[in-house]
Amino acid sequence: MRQAGRSLPEYRAIRERVGMFEIMRDPALTAEVTLQPVRRLGVDAAILFSDIVAPLDAIGVDVDIKPGVGPVFGQPVRTAADLAQLRPLDADTDMPWVAEAVRLVVAELGATPLIGFAGAPFTVASYLVEGGPSREYAHTKALMRTEPELWRTLLDTLADISLASLRAQVLAGASAIQVFDSWAGTLSAADYERYVLPSSRRIFDGLADLGVPRIHFGVGTGELLGLMAAAGADVVGVDWRVPIDEARRRIGPGKAVQGNLDPVLCLASWDVVEPAARDVLASAGEAPGHIFNLGHGVLPDTDPDTLRRLVDFVHTHG
Ligand code: CP3
């Protein structure tokens, strides 16, 4: 349940006085906001408080996270010269607070696993190239098509940055990792395979020696599920558009699936949420290898009591 914190008054109280990057640079505060949803909701795993653009901030890229908007960049990357903004990430020296936060969280969590995460190259590139959130990804797709070599360099550079961040999180104690390709669903399968998959695979291959489960997630990626599995993940996340049984068929054997209750339904009353949760569990069936989750992040107006009830329901009926 990503961004579950947004619905919690205890998180909002901290955010009233402290900025996103300020929280991330303070390991004790990061640990606190990471643990808040675990305490309140009783979920089976924690996800580290950070953001997909945190490694870029750490290497000095001019990026801000605007409330209600998302990541916004001072200077979009659209030419070879713009690439000079990027350099390799050395997680130990560029973002030492991450490993420290992971150690604090893991110590507090006990047997509950911590999931580390990073952005997939395409989704991070989309913010960098557009300069912020986008609906059409016009500049991103134009760059991909007109300058395929520059595009490949950009995506491989971003893959290496995410990989360095993920390795640091695992070496500090994270038990699993998730790679968010939230906006890959804007691409056709052919474009995904040609222009994106090789760079994402670089991340999964680069983690193989660490032996932790690797989750690969996107929104609106029904047509890409097989390819996202082929990129090297152990678990593929699916949003609410494709039922779990069909998602499993598309993902193929030997992988687990994560999902997929529509987070919007959690704004409704329990008599709406319960049958929908039941449908997800029924679609997953008895076979092992299903992680119940929302199909995307928690919406800020969600009542935390609904989420708590949902967690309890899945624990009882899953
Ligand atoms: O669950 C957690 O709180 C873990 C930490 C987490 C954050 N961002 C903190 C955050 C995670 C896993 C992310 C990932 C992330 N960030 C993704 C991929 C996952 C997804 O939801 O698709 C993306 C695309 C981003 C970029 C981003 N950062 C967006 C789109 C937003 C929302 C902007 C808004 O306010 O609507 C952010 C901000 C952000 N990152 C918040 C949190 C808790 C929002 C709240 C705040 O301002 O305090």
pLDDT at 1 over 60: no
**What span, in angstroms and rounded, lies between the C-alpha atoms of 176 and 87?**
26
223-256 pLDDT, tens digit per residue, is 999 999 999 999 999 999 999 999 999 999 999 9
Q: Catalytic: which of 15, 103, 152, 201?
A: 15
Q: Buried b / exposed e across 129-139, counting CB within 10 Å, b at 16+?
A: bbbbebeebeb
Report pLDDT for 257.
Answer: 98
Report pLDDT for 2.
Answer: 63
Distance from Cα 146 to the centre of ligand 1, integer Å = 30
Residue 203 tokens read as 């991340």
Residue with CA at minimum distance from ligand 1 atom 41: 3
Mean per-residue pLDDT for 129-149? 98
Q: How many angstroms separate the first and last alpha carbons of the chain?
A: 16
Pair type for strands 63-66 and 70-73? antiparallel
Report pLDDT for 88.
Answer: 98
Q: How many CB atoms lie within 10 A of CB 275?
A: 11
| 3-state SS class at 50 | coil
182-206 pLDDT, tens digit per residue, is 999 999 999 999 999 999 999 999 9
Cα-flanking dihedrals φ and ψ of residue 45, to 5°?
A: -150, 155
Sign of CA dihedral 62, 143, 87, 163: positive
248-301 pLDDT, tens digit per residue, is 999 999 999 999 999 999 999 999 999 999 999 999 999 999 999 999 999 999
pLDDT at 3 over 80: no
Distance from Cα 138 to the centre of ligand 1, integer Å = 22
Place of tokens 């020696």: 209
Give the pLDDT band of residue 318 (cuts 50, 70, 90): confident
pLDDT at 317 over 60: yes
- Whether 253 is in the pocket of ligand 1, judged by its Cβ within 6 Å, is no
Q: Environment class of residue 18 by beta-carbon count within 10 Å: exposed (0-12), middle (13-18) or buried (19+)?
A: middle
51 in catalytic set: yes
Task: Confirm if 186 and 224 have CB atoms less than 8 A apart.
Answer: no
Mean per-residue pLDDT for 290-315? 96
192 in catalytic set: no
